[in-house]
Structure 1
Amino acid sequence: MELYLIRHGIAEVATDDIKDEQRRLTKEGRQKTEKVAQRLKKLDLDFDFIATSPLVRAKQTAGILTAAGLSSQLEECTHLAPDGNIYDWVVNWLEPKNLAPDTRLALVGHEPCLSRWAEIIVWGEAKERLVLKKAGMIGVKVPETGSPLGRGQMFWLTPPKYLL
């Protein structure tokens, strides 16, 4: 299986009037994310499934990916919220899905969670070495059987500027 960890686009700054979970993509954030999605489509990349954090900015990003034709399957996943736990995600979301070994799964979420998840999948622990820029993507191939944790192979780490 291939996992694509995608950070949401540029979003509004949290203020007293705007709670973190309600922050929306800015105009620039939407435009950049749309360009990234179009570029991914031109590269013939598509996803069998997109799972997104329930926060507005992530759902908007996932919606842009879907609108670009990168997937027709979209589901909200609470494990991808900023306080999400990869171990809970594997046991309570990934394993029960019983996805095919050749599945391409996009996970749309937040930093530093996504970078940490990628590190745990690849190295078995978070080392705080990877940084995922807004609208950037990390690709990790995970083994067909057994836990993906500590057994993945990273094949893609791209900031959005290389896709624009």
Structure 2
Amino acid sequence: MELYLIRHGIAQEQQAGIKDEERELTKEGREKTEKVAQRLKKLGLQFDLIVTSPLIRARQTAEILLTAKLSSHLEESNHLAPNGHISSWLDYWLKPKNLPQNNQLALVGHEPCLSNWAEILLWGEARGGLVLKKAGMIGVKLPEIDSPVGRSQMFWLTPPRYLL
């Protein structure tokens, strides 16, 4: 399975009166994310499934990817919320009944969670070495058998400026 970890686009700043989970993409964030999505489509990317954090900014980012026809399937998962843990996500997704037949799965979420997840998959622990920019993407290939923790391979690390 190829796993694409995608950070949400530029969102409203944290401020009094707006809960973190209600922060939306800004106009600039929406425009940049749309351009990134169109570029990914031109590069021939196609996701069998997009799974998004339930927070508004991530959901909006996932919907932009869907609108760009990078996938026709979208699901929401609390595992991708800022307090989510990769171990609980892996426990859920790696069960035979939940394991998708998908070869390319996109996860839309937040930092530092996504970078930490990538590092855990690559090195078995979060080291704080990877940084995922807003609307950026990390691609990780998971092994076909056994645990992917510390056994996966990174094949893509792109900040959005290289796609605009």
Identify the TM-score tier after normalising by the shorter chain. Answer: over 0.9
- Please name the residue that 1:151 is paired with: 151
TM-score, length-scaled by structure 1: 0.97
SS in 2 for 1:140: strand
How many Å separate the matches in 2 of 1:69 and 1:135? 17
Tell me by how many angstroms 1:103 deviates. 1.0
Structure 2 match to 1:11 = 11
Pairs within 5 Å for 1:11-160: 11-95=11-95, 96-100=97-101, 103-160=103-160
User: Which stretches of structure 1, 4 residues or more, deviate above 4 A after TM superposition?
Assistant: none
**Separation in 2, partners of 1:3, 1:97:** 15
Unaligned runs of 5+ in 1: none
- Per-residue CA deviations over 1:50-71 (Å, capped at 9, x if unaligned) read 0000000000000000000000
CA distance in 1, matches of 2:69, 2:94: 23
Secondary structure, in 3 states, of the residue corresponding to 2:38? Answer: helix
Deviation, structure 1 residue 94: 4.1
Query: For structure 2, which runs of at least 5 residues remain unmatched after alignment?
Result: none
Deviation of the 1:74 alpha carbon: 0.3
TM-score of the aligned structures, taking structure 2 as reference length: 0.97
CA RMSD of aligned residues (A): 0.9
Rounded to whole Å, the distance in 1 between the matches of 2:109 and 2:4 is 11
What SS is found at the alignment partner of 2:4?
strand
- Paired residue total: 163
Instruction: Name whichever of 6-15 and 142-151 sits farther off.
Output: 142-151
- Following superposition, the deviation at residue 93 of structure 1 comes to 3.3
3-state SS of paired residue (1:97): coil
Residues of 2 paired with 1:143 and 1:2: CA distance?
9
C-alpha distance in 1, partners of 2:156/2:125? 19
